[in-house]
A and B are shown apart, each in its own frame.
Chain A
Amino acid sequence: MVTVFGISLPALMGQLLIGLINGSFYAMLSLGLAVIFGMLRVINFAHGAQYMLGAFFAWFLLRYAGIGFWPALVLAPLGVALVGVVIEKVLLSRIYNLDHLYGLLLTFGLALVIEGLFRHWYGTSGQPYSIPSTFQGAFNLGFMILPKYRAFVIVASVVVCLATWLLIEKTKFGAYLRAATENPTLVQAFGVNVPRLLTLTYAIGAGLAGLAGVLAAPVYQVSPLMGQNIVIIVFAVVVIGGMGSIMGAVVTGYVLGLVEGLTKVFYPEASSTVIFVIMVLVLLVRPAGLFGKE
C-alpha cells in the first residue's frame, strides 16, 4: 500500500478531494461576495442565507413540483436572484450614501431573519437531496475513488467562476460594472442607468450564491444552518485573497479548501481553525490580502 507520511494514498486523496469540494464552494461564494462588494461596497452578510435559499428552492422544486436537478440548476438561482432584486431595491439602495458599516448591519439583520424563518419552519436537521441519476456512482482511478457528482461539482464551479470572469472582463456589461466601480456618478453622467446596474449586480451575486446552494444540496444536504456555517469562513477567504480582486477570491477559495483538507489529514484538531490562522498571518504580512490592490 502506498503511504504518504504514514497516510494511505487513497485516504489522503479522499481528504484532498473533500478539501477541493469545500474549496469549490468557497470559491463560488467568495466570487459572489467580491462582485457585490466591488460594486456596492456592501459586505453581503446575507450571502450565506442566499446560498441556503438556493438549496431550499431546489428542494422545494423537487418535493412539490417534481422538478429535478437540471432545471433546478437554472430556476433556483433565478429565484434567489429575484429575492436579491427585491432586497436591493427595497432595502439596500436606501443606504448607499451612508457609512459602509450599515450595509454590513443591514445584511446581517436580513440573514438573521431569513435563516431564523427557515429554522423555525424546518428545524436544524437537514433535508435530503439525492444525487442526480446522471452522476450516481464513482470513477475508480486506482489511487483513489472519485465520486461522479463530486467531480461534477468541481468542474461546474470552475465553469461558473470562469464564466463570471468572462462576463466581467470581456463584455460590455462587464465594462459598465468595472467603470461604475471606479466612478459611478461619471458613468451615470454618460447615460448608463447605474441604479439598475447596482440592482443587477446584487442580483447576480445572490444568484451565484443560490447556484452554489443547488450544487451543494446533494453534497451537504439542505439545512437552514448551511449558510451560517460557511459564511464566516468565506469572509476569511475574502480577507485573505483581498477584497478588490475577483480572481484572487476564487483562487484563494480553492487553495484554502485544499489546505483545510490537508490539515484534516495531518492535524485534524486544527482543521476548523486553520483558515483563520492563515488569515491572521496574511494580515500581519500583507494586510491588503494576497491579491489585494488597496
Chain B
Amino acid sequence: MTLNTFIFYFFSALAVISALLMITRRNVVHSAIFLITALLATAGIFLQLRAEFLFAVQIILYVGGIMVLFLFVIMLVNLDVAVRQAAFNRQAWLAILMAGAMMGTVALAVWLGRASVHLPPVKAGALEPNTELVGEALFQNFMLPFEIASVLLLVAMIGAVVMSKKRI
C-alpha cells in the first residue's frame, strides 16, 4: 500500500469519525470543532485527488471563514442551560430509520445498476497544472456563474447585515 492510498484511508476515517462525533456531541462548540476536523479531512482528500487549488480554497473559505462565523454565532447564542437539555428530538429513531431506508434505497439502486455505468478509464495527469486550469475554466467557460456567484455573495452579505441589526 503506497503512501497515497494510506493518506486516502486515513483522511476518510478521520472525516467519517469527525462527522459521527459532530452529530452526537451535546456541546455545540465541540460539534463545531469536529466539523472543522471533518472539513480539514475533506481538504486532505481534495489534495490526495490532486485538486490542490480546491484544497487551499476549502481551508481558506470553509475552515477559515465559514467555521469562524459559526463559532462567533455559537458564542453569541450559547445558553448554559443547553447542556442539560435533550440533544436529540422526539422523532430521532424514526428519522434514523427513514434516513437509513432512503440512503439504503440509493445504495441498492447504484449497486444493482453498476453494470450499466460505462466510465472511461482514468486519464492520469489531465488536471496538471491544477491552479492554472481552474483559473482558465473560471474565467473562460464559467465566467457567467462566476459573476452570478459574486452577486450572490453581495446579496448574502447585505441580507446577513440587515438581519443581524437590532433596528433596521
Do A and B belong to a common assembly?
A: no
